[in-house]
Amino acid sequence: MHLSERLRKIISLIPLEAGVVDVGTDHAAVPIALAKLNPCRRIIGVEYNDRPLRYAVNKVAAAGMEAVIEIRHGYGLDCVLPGEVEVAVIAGLGSATIIEILRKGDRVARSLSRLVLGPMDYPYKLREYLLLHGYSILSEELVYEYRWYEILVAAPQDVMGALLRPVQNQAGLVMQLEEAYRRKLADAADLDFQTQLELLPILSVDRDTAVNYLRSRRDGINRVLNNMPDVPGTRMRREQLADKLNVIGRVIDQLCR
């Protein structure tokens, strides 16, 4: 089975000996790949919709992995018990859906040692939720495959040495973000709170990857500006995007020094 760069990166972030639940398993690509790496662990795939559920079951059977992989019907973590596995993969879903899954499956989520999260949109919202609800962000990864994918590795506890640790309130988060950016950039004074959350992966990845990611974001903003009519009704939005372009440009310059 062909694995995308994104899925290969996700698999590389899972300890070889850990039991895993793959939420929204779809074609069961992740469980099958994990089983091939180490069949002597518990692997669960969870799917809510009937058609992908049947597809996952058939894929596992075709791979001869029925004794290793269990496909369950459920939503999020609601069909998993605390202690059954150590790692959850929740990828290919929107940030709002991932947050809902963590809220509804809080008891199971808190029992895990690691969560590998791949939000498809608004990852900054997921970061803020995690850090304000007792999760550490251990690291972040960037994978380019026609677009940039952001992958968060989190733990449901305060972990020394994590990229960011849980805080009690937004004021504490602001302080921690400012300190983290000061360690990476010579001058991060013009980065507002949301921009710091949006650009967080640059604190975790290597310089070349960070610069390529930022250049891609800059190109995307330029495309939006070029297609946006220059009329009074869009003036404020155009100014906001122009400000963001300037900030991203300055960050690129600092990383390239």
Q: In what helix (H) or strand (E) does residue 93 lie, and over which residues does it extend?
A: strand 87-93
Domain-located, residue 159: no
18 and 114 both lie in a single domain? yes
Domain-located, residue 158: no
25 and 108 both lie in a single domain? yes
Return the pLDDT at 226. Answer: 92
Look at residues 205, 225, 203 and name the one whose alpha carbon lies nearest to residue 144.
205
Residue that has been written with the tokens 């290919």 in this structure:
92
Query: Phi-psi category of 224—alpha, beta or left, where left has phi over 0 and alpha has psi -120 to 50?
Result: alpha
Domain-located, residue 131: no
How far is the C-alpha of 163 from the C-alpha of 172, rounded, in Å? 15
Q: Residue 229 belongs to what domain range?
A: 171-256
Please name the residues in contact with 41: beta carbons below 8 A apart, sequence gap of 6 or more. 17, 18, 19, 20, 34
Inter-residue contact 66 to 37 (CB < 8 Å): no
Return the pLDDT at 186. Answer: 78
Domain-located, residue 72: yes
Domain-located, residue 127: no
Inter-residue contact 151 to 116 (CB < 8 Å): yes
Domain-located, residue 225: yes
pLDDT, averaged in runs of 10, over the chain (257 residues): 90 97 95 96 96 95 96 97 97 97 98 98 97 98 96 97 96 95 82 94 96 97 92 90 93 91
Which of 89, 106, 121 represents a domain boundary (last residue)?
121
CATH code (residue 116): 3.40.50.150
29 and 106 both lie in a single domain? yes
If one counts the domains in the chain, the total is: 2
